[in-house]
Amino acid sequence: MSAVRENGVIVAIDGPSGAGKSSLTKLLAQRLGYIHIDTGAMFRAVALMSKRAGIATDDDARLAELCRGLDVTFVRDGASCRVLANGEDVSTEIRTEEIGLLTSAISARKPVREALLTMQRAMGAKGGVILEGRDIGTVVFPDAEVKFFLSASAEERGRRRYLELAARGDSATLEETIAKVIQRDKQDEGREHAPLKQADDALPIDSTSLSIEEVLSVMENAVRERLAQGDKG
Ligand SMILES: Nc1ncnc2c1ncn2[C@@H]1O[C@H](COP(=O)(O)OP(=O)(O)OP(=O)(O)O)[C@@H](O)[C@H]1O
Ligand SMILES: Nc1ccn([C@@H]2O[C@H](COP(=O)(O)O)[C@@H](O)[C@H]2O)c(=O)n1
Protein backbone atom coordinates (compact mmCIF):
# COMPACT_ATOMS: atom_id res chain seq x y z
CA MET A 1 0.00 0.00 0.00
CA SER A 2 1.57 3.34 -1.01
CA ALA A 3 2.19 6.22 1.39
CA VAL A 4 -0.23 9.18 1.39
CA ARG A 5 0.66 11.66 -1.34
CA GLU A 6 1.25 15.42 -1.27
CA ASN A 7 -2.45 16.40 -1.29
CA GLY A 8 -3.95 13.21 0.17
CA VAL A 9 -4.89 9.82 -1.23
CA ILE A 10 -6.16 8.87 -4.67
CA VAL A 11 -9.65 7.37 -4.62
CA ALA A 12 -10.81 5.32 -7.62
CA ILE A 13 -14.50 4.65 -8.23
CA ASP A 14 -15.17 2.33 -11.16
CA GLY A 15 -18.38 0.69 -12.32
CA PRO A 16 -20.96 0.38 -15.08
CA SER A 17 -23.36 3.01 -16.34
CA GLY A 18 -25.97 4.19 -13.85
CA ALA A 19 -24.29 2.60 -10.81
CA GLY A 20 -24.09 5.96 -9.05
CA LYS A 21 -20.43 6.84 -9.62
CA SER A 22 -20.94 10.54 -10.42
CA SER A 23 -23.44 11.05 -7.60
CA LEU A 24 -21.20 9.41 -5.02
CA THR A 25 -17.98 10.97 -6.29
CA LYS A 26 -19.49 14.45 -6.05
CA LEU A 27 -20.74 13.89 -2.48
CA LEU A 28 -17.60 12.14 -1.29
CA ALA A 29 -15.42 14.87 -2.80
CA GLN A 30 -17.46 17.48 -0.90
CA ARG A 31 -17.12 15.53 2.37
CA LEU A 32 -13.35 15.14 1.95
CA GLY A 33 -12.57 18.44 0.26
CA TYR A 34 -11.17 16.46 -2.67
CA ILE A 35 -11.23 17.19 -6.40
CA HIS A 36 -13.84 15.29 -8.45
CA ILE A 37 -12.48 14.02 -11.78
CA ASP A 38 -15.24 12.73 -14.05
CA THR A 39 -13.25 10.75 -16.61
CA GLY A 40 -16.46 9.77 -18.40
CA ALA A 41 -17.04 13.43 -19.15
CA MET A 42 -13.58 13.57 -20.77
CA PHE A 43 -14.43 10.67 -23.08
CA ARG A 44 -17.83 12.23 -23.77
CA ALA A 45 -16.14 15.51 -24.76
CA VAL A 46 -13.94 13.64 -27.25
CA ALA A 47 -17.02 11.90 -28.66
CA LEU A 48 -18.91 15.18 -29.04
CA MET A 49 -15.99 16.87 -30.79
CA SER A 50 -15.49 13.84 -33.06
CA LYS A 51 -19.17 13.91 -34.00
CA ARG A 52 -18.97 17.61 -34.85
CA ALA A 53 -15.85 16.96 -36.97
CA GLY A 54 -17.49 14.03 -38.76
CA ILE A 55 -14.76 11.61 -37.64
CA ALA A 56 -15.61 7.91 -37.97
CA THR A 57 -15.43 5.99 -34.68
CA ASP A 58 -12.62 3.76 -36.09
CA ASP A 59 -10.55 6.54 -37.70
CA ASP A 60 -7.67 6.32 -35.24
CA ALA A 61 -5.46 8.81 -37.08
CA ARG A 62 -8.04 11.58 -37.00
CA LEU A 63 -9.09 10.70 -33.44
CA ALA A 64 -5.47 10.93 -32.32
CA GLU A 65 -5.15 14.33 -34.04
CA LEU A 66 -8.37 15.55 -32.40
CA CYS A 67 -7.17 14.46 -28.94
CA ARG A 68 -3.80 16.21 -29.44
CA GLY A 69 -5.64 19.48 -29.96
CA LEU A 70 -8.26 18.99 -27.24
CA ASP A 71 -8.09 20.56 -23.80
CA VAL A 72 -10.74 19.22 -21.39
CA THR A 73 -11.06 21.14 -18.14
CA PHE A 74 -13.44 21.17 -15.18
CA VAL A 75 -14.65 24.45 -13.70
CA ARG A 76 -16.42 24.66 -10.35
CA ASP A 77 -19.93 26.12 -10.61
CA GLY A 78 -21.23 26.37 -7.05
CA ALA A 79 -21.74 22.80 -5.84
CA SER A 80 -21.49 21.52 -9.41
CA CYS A 81 -18.81 21.32 -12.04
CA ARG A 82 -18.90 22.51 -15.68
CA VAL A 83 -17.04 20.59 -18.38
CA LEU A 84 -15.12 22.73 -20.88
CA ALA A 85 -13.76 21.47 -24.20
CA ASN A 86 -11.24 23.97 -25.59
CA GLY A 87 -12.94 26.59 -23.42
CA GLU A 88 -16.49 25.80 -24.59
CA ASP A 89 -19.00 24.71 -21.92
CA VAL A 90 -20.22 21.32 -23.23
CA SER A 91 -21.70 20.14 -19.91
CA THR A 92 -25.22 19.67 -21.28
CA GLU A 93 -24.42 18.49 -24.81
CA ILE A 94 -22.21 15.60 -23.61
CA ARG A 95 -24.97 14.13 -21.42
CA THR A 96 -27.37 12.92 -24.13
CA GLU A 97 -27.90 9.18 -24.56
CA GLU A 98 -26.75 9.55 -28.20
CA ILE A 99 -23.39 10.91 -27.02
CA GLY A 100 -23.26 8.25 -24.31
CA LEU A 101 -23.50 5.46 -26.87
CA LEU A 102 -21.07 7.19 -29.27
CA THR A 103 -18.66 7.62 -26.37
CA SER A 104 -18.74 3.93 -25.68
CA ALA A 105 -17.51 3.31 -29.25
CA ILE A 106 -14.95 6.10 -29.27
CA SER A 107 -13.51 5.11 -25.88
CA ALA A 108 -12.63 1.66 -27.24
CA ARG A 109 -10.00 3.25 -29.53
CA LYS A 110 -6.41 3.03 -28.32
CA PRO A 111 -5.30 6.57 -29.32
CA VAL A 112 -8.21 8.08 -27.40
CA ARG A 113 -7.43 6.04 -24.30
CA GLU A 114 -3.72 6.86 -24.46
CA ALA A 115 -4.36 10.59 -24.80
CA LEU A 116 -6.86 10.75 -21.91
CA LEU A 117 -4.74 8.43 -19.75
CA THR A 118 -1.92 10.99 -19.85
CA MET A 119 -4.32 13.81 -18.92
CA GLN A 120 -5.95 11.84 -16.09
CA ARG A 121 -2.63 10.83 -14.52
CA ALA A 122 -1.43 14.44 -14.66
CA MET A 123 -4.65 15.60 -12.97
CA GLY A 124 -4.50 13.09 -10.12
CA ALA A 125 -0.86 12.21 -9.40
CA LYS A 126 -0.53 14.39 -6.26
CA GLY A 127 -3.60 12.87 -4.61
CA GLY A 128 -6.52 14.62 -2.96
CA VAL A 129 -8.63 13.44 -5.88
CA ILE A 130 -11.51 11.08 -6.59
CA LEU A 131 -11.60 9.77 -10.15
CA GLU A 132 -14.68 7.99 -11.44
CA GLY A 133 -14.74 5.84 -14.55
CA ARG A 134 -14.28 2.31 -15.87
CA ASP A 135 -10.51 1.68 -15.59
CA ILE A 136 -9.26 3.96 -12.83
CA GLY A 137 -8.29 1.23 -10.40
CA THR A 138 -6.98 -1.11 -13.10
CA VAL A 139 -5.16 1.17 -15.59
CA VAL A 140 -5.10 4.87 -14.69
CA PHE A 141 -4.05 4.52 -11.03
CA PRO A 142 -3.49 0.83 -10.18
CA ASP A 143 -1.65 2.14 -7.07
CA ALA A 144 -4.60 4.23 -5.87
CA GLU A 145 -4.81 4.06 -2.08
CA VAL A 146 -8.58 3.43 -2.07
CA LYS A 147 -10.57 1.67 -4.80
CA PHE A 148 -14.28 1.01 -5.08
CA PHE A 149 -16.20 -0.96 -7.69
CA LEU A 150 -19.75 0.36 -7.60
CA SER A 151 -22.44 -1.72 -9.28
CA ALA A 152 -26.19 -2.40 -9.25
CA SER A 153 -28.49 -4.68 -11.23
CA ALA A 154 -29.04 -3.66 -14.86
CA GLU A 155 -32.73 -3.27 -14.12
CA GLU A 156 -32.07 -0.90 -11.21
CA ARG A 157 -29.49 1.09 -13.17
CA GLY A 158 -31.91 1.33 -16.10
CA ARG A 159 -34.67 2.46 -13.76
CA ARG A 160 -32.45 5.17 -12.31
CA ARG A 161 -31.41 6.38 -15.74
CA TYR A 162 -35.05 6.27 -16.91
CA LEU A 163 -36.13 8.51 -14.03
CA GLU A 164 -33.22 10.86 -14.77
CA LEU A 165 -34.10 11.08 -18.48
CA ALA A 166 -37.82 11.49 -17.78
CA ALA A 167 -37.01 14.40 -15.46
CA ARG A 168 -35.22 15.99 -18.43
CA GLY A 169 -38.27 15.45 -20.65
CA ASP A 170 -36.78 12.52 -22.57
CA SER A 171 -39.49 10.15 -23.85
CA ALA A 172 -37.43 6.93 -23.74
CA THR A 173 -39.31 4.02 -22.15
CA LEU A 174 -37.99 2.05 -19.18
CA GLU A 175 -37.48 -1.01 -21.38
CA GLU A 176 -35.52 1.01 -23.96
CA THR A 177 -33.38 2.56 -21.23
CA ILE A 178 -32.55 -0.78 -19.61
CA ALA A 179 -31.61 -2.14 -23.04
CA LYS A 180 -29.25 0.81 -23.65
CA VAL A 181 -27.63 0.32 -20.23
CA ILE A 182 -27.02 -3.34 -21.05
CA GLN A 183 -25.67 -2.39 -24.49
CA ARG A 184 -23.21 0.06 -22.95
CA ASP A 185 -22.17 -2.51 -20.35
CA LYS A 186 -21.35 -5.03 -23.09
CA GLN A 187 -19.34 -2.47 -25.08
CA ASP A 188 -17.42 -1.30 -22.02
CA GLU A 189 -16.72 -4.81 -20.69
CA GLY A 190 -15.95 -6.42 -24.06
CA ARG A 191 -13.44 -3.98 -25.56
CA GLU A 192 -9.76 -4.84 -25.98
CA HIS A 193 -8.30 -1.69 -24.41
CA ALA A 194 -8.92 -0.95 -20.70
CA PRO A 195 -12.21 -2.87 -20.40
CA LEU A 196 -14.58 -2.21 -17.51
CA LYS A 197 -13.63 -4.65 -14.73
CA GLN A 198 -13.22 -4.71 -10.99
CA ALA A 199 -9.69 -4.29 -9.71
CA ASP A 200 -8.58 -7.22 -7.54
CA ASP A 201 -8.04 -4.86 -4.58
CA ALA A 202 -11.23 -2.83 -5.04
CA LEU A 203 -13.99 -2.83 -2.43
CA PRO A 204 -17.14 -4.01 -4.27
CA ILE A 205 -20.36 -2.17 -3.42
CA ASP A 206 -23.68 -3.40 -4.86
CA SER A 207 -26.00 -0.39 -4.56
CA THR A 208 -29.09 -2.15 -5.95
CA SER A 209 -30.84 -1.94 -2.58
CA LEU A 210 -28.81 0.81 -0.97
CA SER A 211 -29.60 4.54 -0.83
CA ILE A 212 -27.05 7.11 -1.96
CA GLU A 213 -26.51 8.05 1.69
CA GLU A 214 -25.83 4.41 2.65
CA VAL A 215 -23.27 4.03 -0.14
CA LEU A 216 -21.67 7.35 0.80
CA SER A 217 -21.28 6.21 4.40
CA VAL A 218 -19.48 3.02 3.37
CA MET A 219 -17.15 4.95 1.05
CA GLU A 220 -16.37 7.75 3.49
CA ASN A 221 -15.57 5.31 6.30
CA ALA A 222 -13.22 3.35 4.02
CA VAL A 223 -11.36 6.49 2.92
CA ARG A 224 -11.04 7.90 6.45
CA GLU A 225 -9.75 4.53 7.65
CA ARG A 226 -7.03 4.65 5.00
CA LEU A 227 -6.18 8.25 5.83
CA ALA A 228 -5.85 7.29 9.51
CA GLN A 229 -3.21 4.74 8.49
CA GLY A 230 -1.19 7.63 7.03
CA ASP A 231 2.16 6.50 5.71
CA LYS A 232 1.95 3.25 7.63
CA GLY A 233 -0.43 1.94 4.98
N1 LIG B 1 -27.99 4.15 -4.57
C2 LIG B 1 -28.84 4.82 -5.36
N3 LIG B 1 -30.16 4.70 -5.16
C4 LIG B 1 -31.05 5.36 -5.95
N5 LIG B 1 -30.70 6.17 -6.98
C6 LIG B 1 -29.38 6.32 -7.23
C7 LIG B 1 -28.39 5.66 -6.44
N8 LIG B 1 -27.17 6.02 -6.93
C9 LIG B 1 -27.39 6.85 -7.97
N10 LIG B 1 -28.71 7.05 -8.14
C11 LIG B 1 -29.34 7.86 -9.20
O12 LIG B 1 -29.11 7.17 -10.40
C13 LIG B 1 -28.86 8.11 -11.50
C14 LIG B 1 -27.51 7.79 -12.13
O15 LIG B 1 -26.50 8.05 -11.16
P16 LIG B 1 -25.03 8.50 -11.67
O17 LIG B 1 -25.16 9.43 -12.83
O18 LIG B 1 -24.32 8.97 -10.44
O19 LIG B 1 -24.45 7.11 -12.15
P20 LIG B 1 -23.08 6.86 -12.96
O21 LIG B 1 -22.54 5.57 -12.46
O22 LIG B 1 -22.20 8.05 -12.85
O23 LIG B 1 -23.63 6.71 -14.42
P24 LIG B 1 -22.80 6.96 -15.81
O25 LIG B 1 -21.56 6.14 -15.71
O26 LIG B 1 -23.76 6.51 -16.87
O27 LIG B 1 -22.54 8.45 -15.86
C28 LIG B 1 -28.92 9.49 -10.87
O29 LIG B 1 -30.22 10.06 -11.06
C30 LIG B 1 -28.70 9.22 -9.38
O31 LIG B 1 -29.34 10.20 -8.57
N1 LIG C 1 -12.60 5.89 -17.40
C2 LIG C 1 -13.57 5.78 -18.34
C3 LIG C 1 -14.75 6.55 -18.24
C4 LIG C 1 -15.69 6.44 -19.25
N5 LIG C 1 -15.45 5.63 -20.31
C6 LIG C 1 -16.38 5.55 -21.44
O7 LIG C 1 -17.20 6.71 -21.47
C8 LIG C 1 -18.58 6.35 -21.48
C9 LIG C 1 -19.35 7.41 -20.72
O10 LIG C 1 -18.96 7.38 -19.36
P11 LIG C 1 -19.99 7.90 -18.23
O12 LIG C 1 -19.36 7.49 -16.92
O13 LIG C 1 -20.09 9.38 -18.39
O14 LIG C 1 -21.28 7.21 -18.54
C15 LIG C 1 -18.62 4.98 -20.83
O16 LIG C 1 -19.74 4.23 -21.24
C17 LIG C 1 -17.32 4.36 -21.33
O18 LIG C 1 -17.52 3.81 -22.61
C19 LIG C 1 -14.30 4.86 -20.37
O20 LIG C 1 -14.11 4.08 -21.34
N21 LIG C 1 -13.36 4.96 -19.39
Domain residue ranges of the chain, discontinuous segments joined by +: 10-224
Residue 61 CA to ligand 1 centre (angstroms): 34
Report the nearest-CA residue for atom 11 of ligand 2.
40
Q: For domain 10-224, give its CATH number from 3.40.50.300, 3.90.660.10, 1.10.540.10, 2.60.120.10.
A: 3.40.50.300
- Name the residue at shortest CA distance from atom 25 of ligand 1: 17
Length of the chain: 233
pTM of the full structure:
0.95
ipTM above 0.95, yes or no: yes
Q: Is the CB of 161 under 6 A from ligand 2?
A: no
Of all protein residues, the one whose alpha carbon is nearest to atom 9 of ligand 2 is 40
Q: How far is the CA of 39 from the centre of ligand 2 (A)?
A: 7
Q: Is the CB of 107 under 6 A from ligand 2?
A: yes
Q: What is the three-state SS of the chain?
A: CCCCECCECEEEEECCCCCCHHHHHHHHHHHHCCEEEEHHHHHHHHHHHHHHCCCCCCCHHHHHHHHHCCCEEEEEECCEEEEEECCEECCCHHHCHHHHHHHHHHCCCHHHHHHHHHHHHHHHCCCCEEEEECCHHHHHCCCCCEEEEEECCHHHHHHHHHHHHHHCCCCCCHHHHHHHHHHHHHHHHHCCCCCCCCCCCCEEEECCCCCHHHHHHHHHHHHHHHHHHHHHC
Contact between residue 101 and residue 28 where contact means Cβ atoms under 8 Å apart: no
Question: Mean pLDDT, 10 residues at a time, over the chain (233 residues)?
Answer: 79 97 96 95 98 97 97 87 95 91 94 97 96 98 98 98 92 94 94 96 98 98 93 59
Q: Which ligand number lies closest to the CA of residue 214?
A: 1
pLDDT at 230: 82
Q: What is the mean pLDDT of the chain?
A: 94
Q: Which residues are annotated as a binding site for ATP?
A: 15-23
Single-letter code of the amino acid located at 219: M
Q: How confident is the model at residue 232, as a pLDDT?
A: 60
Q: What confidence score (pLDDT) does residue 2 get?
A: 52
Q: Separation of 75 CA from ligand 1 center, angstroms? A: 21
CB 120 near ligand 2, within 6 Å: no
